[in-house]
Amino acid sequence: MSFFGFGQTADIEIHFDDADKRKVAEVKTDDGKKEKLLLYYDGETVSGRVNVTLRKPGSKLEHQGIKVELIGQIELFYDRGNHHEFISLVKELARPGDLLQHTSYPFEFANVEKPYEVYTGANVRLRYFLRATIIRRLTDIVKEVDIAVHTLCSYPDVLNSIKMEVGIEDCLHIEFEYNKSKYHLKDVIVGKIYFLLVRIKIRHMEISIIKRETTGSGPNTFTENETVAKYEIMDGAPVRGESIPIRVFLAGYDLTPTMRDINNKFSVRYYLNLVLMDTEDRRYFKQQEVTLWRKSDKSRLPLHNPHLPQTLSHPAHSSTPRQLSASSEDNSARGVSPLHPENSIQRSISPSTNEDEKRNGPSEMEQEKPDIITNKLSNTHIHNEVDDATEQSVEPSEDKPPIAEKPVLVEKPPVSEKPQIAEKPILNRPETVEANSSQ
């Protein structure tokens, strides 16, 4: 124990595994500042070491046990005395005893379920932290380290658009349309506004993003509205039939995913607020709720990578040597396909065919042209080297199929009755010619 500076005490440090490789995220604190914390996701393991350093080496430190806790809790600012814990995991590091030297204790919380994302708002705070405690008789030695947790979602690419027709009877009639109802935090809101009836003098129109935070329940419900972004999309009086485009980029704003009934304590919702103001400073507005979600930052593999073997394999041309140009020789030396990568992506999307002549695309056409040229060059090359005599010897070889019909002539006995023809073997070739002409 330590009275008036006497006695032993210790310092606690918490080190995480893979802290140098893990991503960090900026989290808002109670005083409005931002701090960078190690980022974890749902289902990931939280592990590391708790280092206990004695301030006075050589003297012992009595304790009633050492433990580390992983806690997820919700703090309501109007009820700071009560912390609502939704996660509480404990690991015992040491039994009661004495510490005689600096000690390091490993810990691991495997596959921890982290259902909610960290959040700091106007009236509520949701946090995850590790707490290492050296239990002593009078005062415990405690060290807390916060971590950041993000929840990832995935929605289909095809989402329903928002289209609504609003207005004031016989005065103003507008129709607004947004391209979808769910946006990720780096998305772009695209929409249009159509003026169907305008009988009031409108001065300007703006669109804003409102974050609505609701805490508590029943009579203890508190609602806080915060305008995150505001855009003026029109200045001046519109006319009937006019359309105003809308384009809002969400990446530049401090937004969080939509949270609904988090542990029955609070909710965070986002609205698109369309406001029109007339010349008499009267405001007309319409709010539409949208859902914000966090998209995974993990990059996917390129689409053309799994199809590279298809673009490189040409069984019809691989067996025969080809004359390559300088650029294609360089590509072959580097192990790169002579085809363009974008062409390979087009081939992977289009239906594949077995026949080479049915393949479409500029890459296939460019490959077929050198083959035709090389065949022509090879024919002319043979034509220059071969004499006319050899050409004549080649031509009868093409007419040999009629000679193969000789057995038909041998089967006829009347032909063998002519002794003059049988004695002259030299006249065998004219006989074939006469036989052919008779046939």
Q: What is the pLDDT of residues 411-429, one digit of tens each?
A: 444 444 444 444 444 444 4
Give me the pLDDT at residue 12, please.
Answer: 96
Instruction: Detail the DSSP E strand segments found in 151-282.
Output: 162-168, 172-178, 182-184, 188-198, 202-215, 222-235, 243-249, 259-262, 266-278
Report whether pLDDT(103) > 60.
yes
Q: What is the pTM of this model?
A: 0.65
Give me the pLDDT at residue 168, please.
Answer: 82
What CATH number does residue 184 fall under? 2.60.40.640
The tokens for 216 are 């508590």
Judgement on whether residues 68 and 188 belong to the same structural domain of the protein:
no
Report whether pLDDT(65) > 70.
yes
Report if residue 230 sits inside a domain.
yes
Last residue of a domain, one of 116, 150, 184: 150
Report whether pLDDT(68) > 60.
yes
Report whether pLDDT(354) > 70.
no
Give me the pLDDT at residue 335, please.
Answer: 44
Whole-angstrom distance, CA of residue 209 vs CA of residue 266: 20
Whole-angstrom distance, CA of residue 342 vs CA of residue 363: 10
Judgement on whether residues 19 and 140 belong to the same structural domain of the protein:
yes
Binning pLDDT at 50, 70 and 90, where does residue 236 land? Answer: confident
Binning pLDDT at 50, 70 and 90, where does residue 157 land? Answer: low
Judgement on whether residues 139 and 214 belong to the same structural domain of the protein:
no
Judgement on whether residues 74 and 120 belong to the same structural domain of the protein:
yes
Give me the pLDDT at residue 398, please.
Answer: 42
Of 241, 236, 251, 266, nearest to 78 by C-alpha is: 266
Report whether pLDDT(375) > 60.
no
Last residue of a domain, one of 118, 150, 182: 150
Report if residue 427 sits inside a domain.
no
Judgement on whether residues 199 and 139 belong to the same structural domain of the protein:
no
Judgement on whether residues 333 and 254 belong to the same structural domain of the protein:
no
Domain count, the chain: 3
Judgement on whether residues 289 and 196 belong to the same structural domain of the protein:
yes
Question: Which residues form the domain of 132?
Answer: 10-150
Judgement on whether residues 24 and 130 belong to the same structural domain of the protein:
yes
Report whether pLDDT(319) > 90.
no
Report if residue 302 sits inside a domain.
no
Length of the chain: 439
Of 113, 139, 118, nearest to 30 by C-alpha is: 118
Report whether pLDDT(369) > 50.
no
Judgement on whether residues 98 and 217 belong to the same structural domain of the protein:
no
Helix (H, G, I), strand (E, B) or coil at 27: strand
Report if residue 417 sits inside a domain.
no
Q: How many CA atoms lie within 13 A of 401 on its CB side?
A: 1
Burial 358-368 (b: 16+ CB within 10 A, else e): ebeeebbeebe
Report whether pLDDT(316) > 50.
no
The tokens for 315 are 């069984």
Whole-angstrom distance, CA of residue 116 vs CA of residue 127: 9
Judgement on whether residues 48 and 94 belong to the same structural domain of the protein:
yes
Q: pLDDT tens digit string along 286-303?
A: 899 999 999 887 543 343
- 4 torsion bin: left (phi>0), alpha (psi -120 to 50), beta (else): left
Judgement on whether residues 129 and 217 belong to the same structural domain of the protein:
no
